[in-house]
Structure 1
Amino acid sequence: MARLFIAIELPGEIKKTLSSLCCDLPGMRWVPPDQIHLTLRFLGDVQPKDTLRLKEALPAITFAPFPLTVQGVGHFPPHGHPRVLWIGLEESSPLLELQQRIETAITGVGIVPEERRFSPHITIARIKENASAEVALFEAKHRQLNFPPFTVDEFVLFSSVLSPKGATHRKEGTFRNRS
């Protein structure tokens, strides 16, 4: 069984800049720079036969390359104690269409559909204790964060192995645009 997710990798410069935002806030576990990505769909534990079928279905997804702009900052849940600190994205119809095509392919191989609405974001930290005031200050400082657009022309199937030191991600397949 493999723990899988599908994501868009970000350009190195964006990862580098986002990781430079990490600061000494209590109770925060920052995402390592090499693991910063935009998750399109977290699959969780997947049986080997379903992983094989997934690797056969994902290359059939067609999409044209599209621009994506990373901007803004926020947290989940929106009310109550923050648990995740994230960087946002400019609204993008092509991104939503790609995510929906991926969802259709996933359910087509028998993986249970996602119940939650897709909310595009880039997780940069997980929050272990109540740090509402610190998160508010961080968000106020970085609210105007904005990068030039980059072109999305592929997505990646990753496996993730959990350990006490955190997760280790490995590329299981890269799928390029086929428009």
Structure 2
Amino acid sequence: MNNYFIAIKLPSDIVASVFSVGAQINEFSKSTIVSYENLHISLKFLGGALSDRQVEEVKSALQSIKSKIFLIQLRGIGAFPSQQFARVIWLGVEESKPLFGLRKQIDAVLPPLSQADVHNFVPHLTLSRIISVFDKLKMARFFKLYKKTDFGVFEVKEFYFMMSKTSKIRTTYEVLAS
């Protein structure tokens, strides 16, 4: 199955520090850790039902976006829907006017595809998808330990139109345009 989305990729030094923390999630849960090369911040999810024509339209529309270089601060770890009932463990992205401005520009040029992304924009970096938790106490300590941890700042110079391909074995990501 394919899914299309627009994302910000992380520099390798940030990925290295984040990935080591994400690896600890298996100490209290059975989970699928997002692989090193697939860590990203999603700006907009477009769904999986795009035709070749729509893919080309998205590429063309995104070319019209003019975004200045800006900084993103990564801080804290949390979970969706909640820390008590974690299904997705994420790393937080500090509030950023330029980031929300970029998202607004994306929404403005892609209105026909907006139906796929029905949730409010909550910038985050998915670390893991939880299958089951076997040590709730250890999980609570993990969230407490990293609640306000600073994971670094990096410059955003570009964003990417990407496709993920999910199979029974793994998910792979392909950059379609930047």
TM-score by length of 1: 0.89
Residue 37 (1) aligns with residue 40 (2): yes
- Do the aligned residues in 1 keep the contact of 2:7 with 2:161 (CA within 8 Å)? yes
Cα distance in 1 between the residues matched to 2:104 and 2:59? 17
| Counterpart position of 1:11 | 11
Q: How does 1:95-134 map to 2 (within 5 A)?
A: 95-107=99-111, 110-113=112-115, 114-130=117-133, 132-134=136-138
Cα distance in 1 between the residues matched to 2:36 and 2:56? 29
Moved more, 2-11 or 152-161: 2-11
Question: Cα distance, 1:87 vs. partner?
Answer: 0.4
Q: CA RMSD in A?
A: 1.7
3-state DSSP of counterpart to 2:53: helix
3-state DSSP of counterpart to 1:16: helix
1:125-149: CA deviation from partner (whole Å, max 9, x where unpaired):
1101145444322111212321332
Structure holding more helix per residue: 2
Q: Number of residue pairs matched?
A: 172
Residue 49 (1) aligns with residue 35 (2): no
| Counterpart position of 1:177 | none
Q: 1:26 aligns with which of 26, 29, 32?
A: 29
One-letter amino acid of the structure 2 residue matched with residue 129 of structure 1: S
Q: 2:173 aligns with which of 169, 175, 179?
A: 169
One-letter amino acid of the structure 1 residue matched with residue 113 of structure 2: I
Cα distance in 2 between the residues matched to 1:85 and 1:148? 18
3-state DSSP of counterpart to 2:150: coil
Task: Give ranges in structure 2 of 5+ residues lacking alignment.
Answer: none
- Do the aligned residues in 1 keep the contact of 2:162 with 2:175 (CA within 8 Å)? yes
- Do the aligned residues in 1 keep the contact of 2:14 with 2:152 (CA within 8 Å)? no
3-state DSSP of counterpart to 1:160: strand
1:26-61: CA deviation from partner (whole Å, max 9, x where unpaired):
222111111111000111111111111111100101
Describe the shift of the 1:134–1:105 C-alpha distance in structure 2 as closer, same or farther (beyond 3 A): farther
Same amino acid, percent of matched pairs: 30
- Do the aligned residues in 2 keep the contact of 1:41 with 1:99 (CA within 8 Å)? yes
Moved more, 62-71 or 111-120: 111-120
- Do the aligned residues in 2 keep the contact of 1:85 with 1:124 (CA within 8 Å)? yes
